[in-house]
Amino acid sequence: MTSLDAIGPLLVEAEQQGCEFMRRLVEEWASGANRFDGKGECFLGAFSAGQLLGVVGLNRDPYADTEQIGRVRHLYVLASARRHGVGSLLVHHALQEARRSFTIVRLRTTPSAAAFYLRLGFTSIDEKTASHVMIFGSGA
């Protein structure tokens, strides 16, 4: 995705559900602070019949001291599209992109979403800035 023109319904729903990271995504995009346009980075959307169903971003991990670590960020899927594989598809495609530039991908999520990432092959970790990790070359 190269613009956030279609993100309105996701933003409204996310804010109603208390997901502040979507507002941060929009603000950082608007300011240019994060447009997922660095080396190895991408921002992906899943569409059906012209409607944006979900998004996910991939950045170089700003909390890591090496450029070899990526970070999955801002995964959000409309409630009406959940449990239909949209989130899995988005993360799968982000991981395909990540393999081109990163050896490790990390993320931070809520306890309620942890099982989702475990099913996708991530491993739980207990770090201040990350809750899950995937190391490529170890079954990812």
* Residue 118 falls inside a structural domain: yes
Task: Please give the tally of structural domains in the chain.
Answer: 1
* Residue 71 falls inside a structural domain: yes
Which structure tokens are listed for 18?
């208390």
Report residue 91: phi and psi, to 5°.
Answer: -65, -40
* Residue 1 falls inside a structural domain: no
Q: What is the DSSP letter of 52?
A: E
CB hemisphere CA count around 8 (13 angstroms): 3
Residues 6+ apart with CB under 8 A from 122: 107, 132, 133, 134
Buried b (16+ CB within 10 A) or exposed e, 93-129: ebbebbeebbebbbbbbeeeeeebbeebebeeeeeee
Q: What is the rounded distance in angstroms from the CA atom of residue 12 to the CA atom of residue 46?
A: 17
The CATH number of the domain holding residue 62 is 3.40.630.30
Per-residue confidence (pLDDT) for residue 140, from 0 to 100: 44
* Residue 87 falls inside a structural domain: yes
* Residue 39 falls inside a structural domain: yes
Q: What is the pLDDT along the chain (140 residues), one digit of tens a residue?
A: 777 889 999 999 999 999 999 999 999 999 999 999 999 999 999 999 999 999 999 999 999 999 999 999 999 999 999 999 999 999 999 999 999 999 999 999 999 999 999 999 999 999 999 999 999 975 44
Q: State the residue range of the domain holding 81.
A: 8-135
Which structure tokens are listed for 30?
């608007």
pTM for this entry? 0.91
